[in-house]
Chains A and B, each alone.
Chain A
Amino acid sequence: MLTKENILTLLEEVKDPEIPVLSLVDLGVITGVEVSKDDHVTVNMTPTFAGCPAMDYMKKDVERTLEKHGITNYKVNMTFDKPWDSNKLSEKGRKQLKEFGLAPPPKYDLILDLDILEHVKCPYCDSDNTDMRTPFGPTLCRSMHYCNNCKQMFEQFKPL
């Protein structure tokens, strides 16, 4: 018999296509899994940013992974019911982001001000002596910063 936990474990295999160390579960875009009595699986997903071009790809990846494990009776929905915010990233996900070289977003009260954006800890040397160069990076979910300590540009997974 399938359980919600089984499915979440399977979905750990599905990684963010741009950040291959980070699973969709740890990213927080899997917002719900339900298994009905007759083993019908419903997975709800939500985009990080509404214009994220990778969402279709991620959805198909979830479907492929379910099928690979012999689950054919499923439905994957993309919904804004529980909208994504950066607090939904798991602790494990934050650690993986940092190891990948991306500063994780701070946990915050969802009121965005300049301080949150400007004082980002460098993922390479942990210095706070950094400047934001632009809130718009190579993808919608990343901003660009410069570390005055180790003299490197780095990217942050944006708080949202």
Chain B
Amino acid sequence: MNEQAIKDLLYKLADDQLILGHRNSEWTGFGPILEEDIAFSSMAQDKIGHSLAFYTLLQELGEAEPDTVAFTRNANQFHNSHLVELPNGEYDFSLIRHFLYDNAEIIRFEMLSQSSYEPIAKVATKLKGEVKYHVLHANTWIKNLGSSTEEAILRLQSSLNEAMPYALAMFEKSNYEQELIDAGVYAGEEAVKAEWLKRIQAVIEKTDLKLPDLTTIEPKFGGRYGEHTEHLQPLLDEMAEVFKIDPTAEW
């Protein structure tokens, strides 16, 4: 198996989890209700733990150690999708992003748990169980709020429309796409996307929300290749602030 292809996949998975984990942590102390404050904080902790598991696999393939990889790269070296780096916005935007992202992530982990590349299969088997709670949380709130008051429905619809071009770009293919599929590492981005559409549609149908017409939307590609929005570098600077004071510190 081409090691570069595996590394590319691992960076994509790890960086998405790290960046969204950091965004989720920004709700700590600011959640609209206490339970949501705790929920986003817990999911932040999970996701950062997940990124550590993937960065550890990268270290085993010869990359730098997880803290170095997480805290010393610049935006153009990150492979996360734009969706996860966007600012939290209002709660409705964070909730919609969480719904769109986690429903995709669990499919990825389910597929990767069958991967021919055993180290990824083991980690994905573990993580898919944890992400179930994230998906359950997102789907429950979308169902509740998406069929509640006019204001809630309008806000969620507007956030859904805004997030969709970024969400579609989660499935941007890597240069190694066919190679990974042929080697049985996973079924590929098209397969993840098709299953994702089915699952989010099933939830949205139970609400007053409408899925935007996806054929007219241009996905905001680039994230998987290191091209990012203006929001990523400031986030990385803040995330690494303590680490960079003394990178050799023992904790």
**Interface residue ranges, A against B (CB under 8 Å):** 46-47, 49-53, 80-81, 83-85, 110, 112, 114, 117, 133-138, 140, 144, 158, 160
Contact = CB atoms under 8 A, between A and B. Distances in A.
Contacts of A49: 46, 49, 130
B233 interface: no
A50 B133 contact: no
Given A50-B46, A50-B50, A83 B137 contact: no
Contacts of A158: 133
B127 interface: yes
Return the 5 tightest CB-CB contacts between A and B, nearest first.
Answer: A51-B49, A136-B42, A83-B126, A50-B49, A136-B39
- The prevalent SS among residues of A at the interface is loop
A84 B136 CA distance: 20
B132 interface: yes
Contact of B137 (A52, A135, A160): A135
B43 interface: yes
Contacts of B136: 112, 114, 117, 135
Nearest to A80: B122
Nearest to B21: A51
A53 B38 CA distance: 16
B35 A134 contact: yes
B49 A160 contact: no
Contact of A51 (B47, B123, B137): B47
Contacts of A138: 38
A134 B129 contact: no
Contacts, number: 70
Contacts of A46: 126
A135 B133 contact: yes
A68 to B, nearest CB: 23
Interface in B9-46: 35, 38-39, 41-43, 45-46
Contacts of A137: 38, 42
A65 to B, nearest CB: 22
Contact of A50 (B35, B38, B41, B130): B130
A13 B97 CA distance: 44
A121 to B, nearest CB: 20
A80 B133 contact: no
A30 B53 CA distance: 18
B22 to A, nearest CB: 13
Interface in B40-67: 41-43, 45-50, 52-53
